[in-house]
């Protein structure tokens, strides 16, 4: 797309944005992939429309305020990136744009407070845990609360589990086959501590030593995707200091959103002094399923105990795994290694569940519609179990399938593997 984006004035992030706009041929192949276009049907709420709006704002032909409602509705799911033949890095565009535009936004005091609370609580698992536990008690009050508060409460599980601190080093069981660093994530430590516990067990069982480097923190994705670029840079640099890529075979995450965030570091630091460091770091980052599936293909993994009965697993593609990281087959391959397991493909599987980081909190209405739609599609496959690789999807799907009256277990892929190793699946 031809454009007059003033790259020189905008600096390195301007280069990122102009490159993405250049690559768009406005063919419209992204339209059927976009969740908000599916719900709203308007060009402005499609990826192609948003690219045009961002271009216009960057060129100075449109007020940011006029474009903002449509840009704010973007989930950042990147389904459009998968659908795009011309290779538009839409994720990089919207992230850079949000970082550029957020300081110019005027938000209400309530909005500001909400964003501040989210961005403070999310990266601090202990604080988040306290908030989640408090929220648990407020759940019965939800119907009486304003929608902005009701959304997050609806997502909380009935029981918020106690946090389980992870050891700094988990030794390999048997001969050591590898050594990895692990990013523990934020919200999931409070909401689903078993994700990490299961991850450590599965890796150890396969002869992988797992190090949890001190000094690590939030990946920065939530800050970055809401436009808090300075805060994101601080978090990114803390992690670059905490993880020395030379020390590990891989740097693992078990949360799709965080893993995608880590892989984005070179873009965030594009044109800055530590860009090369970010590239070396990102080259080592893998999702847990990616790492295990590679291990399975190359050297094999420890055999799983069969499921106690034939088990149909609906595998949900987290957007930040399937679209942002292009990891689709790895989790399916791993689950299929468990004797007795079959995989059900979910209709409209490419469409976001509506969780999308902080989207549930920012756009509760659209998030709710997408959640209900996803739960309906999942349940249409009559699964015995639902698996996914992201805490956000996990809470969203759990909440919406329960609302539709289903008690189907919802788990992280690695929890399923862990249960199979223990003979408890």
Partner 1 sequence: MTVEKLALTTTSPAPKPKSEGKADNALATELTRRLGPRKVLSNLAERLSYRFDAIQFGVTPLAVVLPESTEDVIATVKAARRAGVSIVGRGAASGLSGGAAPMQPSVVISFTRMTDLQIFPQRREAVAQPGVITLAVTEAARPHGLIYPPDPASFRTSTIGGNLGENAGGPLCFKYGVTGDYVTALDFVDAEGEVHTLQRDAYDLAGLLIGSEGTLGLITSATLRLTPPPRFTRTLMAHFAEVGQAAEAVSAAIAAGAVPGKLEFMDGACTNAVEDYLHLGLPRDAGAVLLVDTDGDDLDTVEEERALVEAACLEAGGHVRRAEGEAEAAALWQARRSVSPALGRIRPQRMNEDIVVPRSVLPEVVRQIRALGDASGLKLVQFGHIGDGNLHPNILFDPRKESEEAVHDLAHKIALVALRHGGVLSGEHGIGTMKRDFMRDAVDAETMTALRNVKRAFDPADALNPGKILPDETHA
Give the interface with partner 1 as residue ranges (CB under 8 A).
1-2, 4, 22-29, 31-32, 41-44, 49, 52-53, 56, 59-63, 65-67, 70, 84-88
Name every residue whose Cβ is closer than 8 Å to that of residue 30 and which is 6 or more positions away in sequence.
Answer: 46, 47, 48, 79, 80, 83, 84, 90
CB of 59 to partner 1, least distance (A): 8
Nearer to partner 1, 299 or 348 (CB): 348
CB of 330 to partner 1, least distance (A): 16
CB of 369 to partner 1, least distance (A): 17
CB of 2 to partner 1, least distance (A): 4
Q: Do 84 and 30 form a contact (C-beta atoms < 8 A)? A: yes
CB of 44 to partner 1, least distance (A): 5
Q: Do 11 and 99 form a contact (C-beta atoms < 8 A)? A: no
Nearer to partner 1, 15 or 384 (CB): 15
Nearer to partner 1, 31 or 138 (CB): 31
Between CA 219 and CA 185 the distance in angstroms is 7
Closest CA to 179 of 189, 169, 165, 193: 169
C-alpha distances in Å from residue 228, one per residue of 83, 98, 126, 277, 379: 28, 8, 22, 22, 37
CB of 72 to partner 1, least distance (A): 12
Between CA 271 and CA 276 the distance in angstroms is 10
For 12-72, the DSSP string reads HHHHHHHHHHHH-----TTGGG-HHHHHH--GGGSHHHHHHHHHHHHHTSS-HHHHHHHHH
CB of 30 to partner 1, least distance (A): 8
Nearer to partner 1, 126 or 326 (CB): 326
Nearer to partner 1, 32 or 339 (CB): 32
CB of 371 to partner 1, least distance (A): 24
* Helix or strand holding residue 100 (H, E): helix 90-101
Q: Which of helix, strand or coil describes residue 210?
A: strand
Nearer to partner 1, 230 or 345 (CB): 345
Nearer to partner 1, 177 or 332 (CB): 332
Nearer to partner 1, 20 or 269 (CB): 20
Nearer to partner 1, 29 or 204 (CB): 29
Between CA 314 and CA 97 the distance in angstroms is 35
For 227-239, the DSSP string reads T-HHHHHHHHHHH
Between CA 353 and CA 315 the distance in angstroms is 13
In this structure, the chain runs to a length of: 425
Closest CA to 249 of 179, 177, 173, 169: 179
Alpha helices in 299-425 (DSSP H): 319-322, 329-336, 359-362, 364-379, 391-403, 413-421
* Helix or strand holding residue 187 (H, E): helix 187-191
CB of 63 to partner 1, least distance (A): 6
């Amino acid at each position: 797309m031809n454009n007059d984006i003033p790259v020189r004035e905008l600096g390195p992030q301007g280069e990122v944005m102009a490159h993405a706009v250049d690559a768009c041929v406005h063919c419209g192949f992204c339209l059927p992939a976009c969740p908000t276009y599916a719900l709203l049907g308007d060009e402005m709420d499609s990826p192609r429309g948003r690219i045009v709006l961002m271009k216009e704002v960057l060129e100075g032909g449109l007020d940011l305020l006029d474009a903002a409602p449509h840009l704010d509705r973007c989930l950042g799911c990147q389904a459009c990136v998968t659908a795009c033949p011309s290779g538009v890095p839409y994720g990089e565009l919207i992230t850079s744009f949000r970082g550029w535009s957020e300081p110019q936004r005027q938000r209400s005091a309530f909005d500001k407070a909400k964003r501040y609370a989210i961005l403070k609580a999310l990266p601090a698992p202990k604080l988040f845990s306290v908030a989640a536990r408090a929220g648990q008690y407020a759940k019965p009050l939800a119907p009486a609360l304003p929608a902005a508060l009701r959304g997050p409460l609806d997502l909380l599980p009935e029981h918020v589990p106690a946090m389980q601190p992870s050891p700094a080093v988990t030794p390999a069981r048997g001969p050591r086959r590898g050594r990895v660093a692990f990013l523990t994530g934020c919200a999931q430590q409070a909401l689903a501590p078993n994700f990490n516990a299961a991850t450590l067990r599965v890796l150890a069982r396969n002869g992988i030593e797992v190090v949890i480097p001190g000094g690590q923190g939030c990946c920065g994705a939530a800050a970055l995707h809401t436009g808090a670029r300075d805060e994101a840079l601080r978090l990114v640099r803390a992690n670059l200091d905490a993880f020395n890529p030379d020390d590990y075979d891989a740097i693992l995450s078990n949360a799709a959103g965080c893993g995608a965030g880590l892989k984005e570091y070179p873009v965030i630091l594009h044109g800055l002094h530590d860009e090369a460091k970010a590239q070396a770091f990102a080259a080592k980052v893998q999702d847990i399923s990616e790492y295990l599936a590679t291990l399975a293909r190359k050297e094999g993994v420890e055999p799983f105990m069969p499921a106690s009965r034939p088990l149909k697993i609906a595998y949900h593609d987290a957007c930040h795994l399937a679209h942002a990281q292009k990891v689709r087959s790895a989790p399916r391959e791993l689950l299929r290694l468990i004797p007795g397991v079959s995989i059900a493909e979910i209709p409209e599987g490419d469409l976001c569940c509506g969780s999308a980081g902080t989207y549930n909190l920012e756009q509760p209405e659209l998030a709710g519609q997408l959640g209900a739609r996803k739960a309906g599609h999942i349940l249409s496959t009559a699964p015995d179990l639902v698996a996914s690789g992201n805490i956000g999807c996990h809470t969203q799907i759990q909440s919406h399938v329960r609302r539709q009256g289903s008690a189907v277990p919802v788990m992280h892929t690695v929890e399923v593997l862990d249960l199979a190793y223990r003979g408890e699946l």
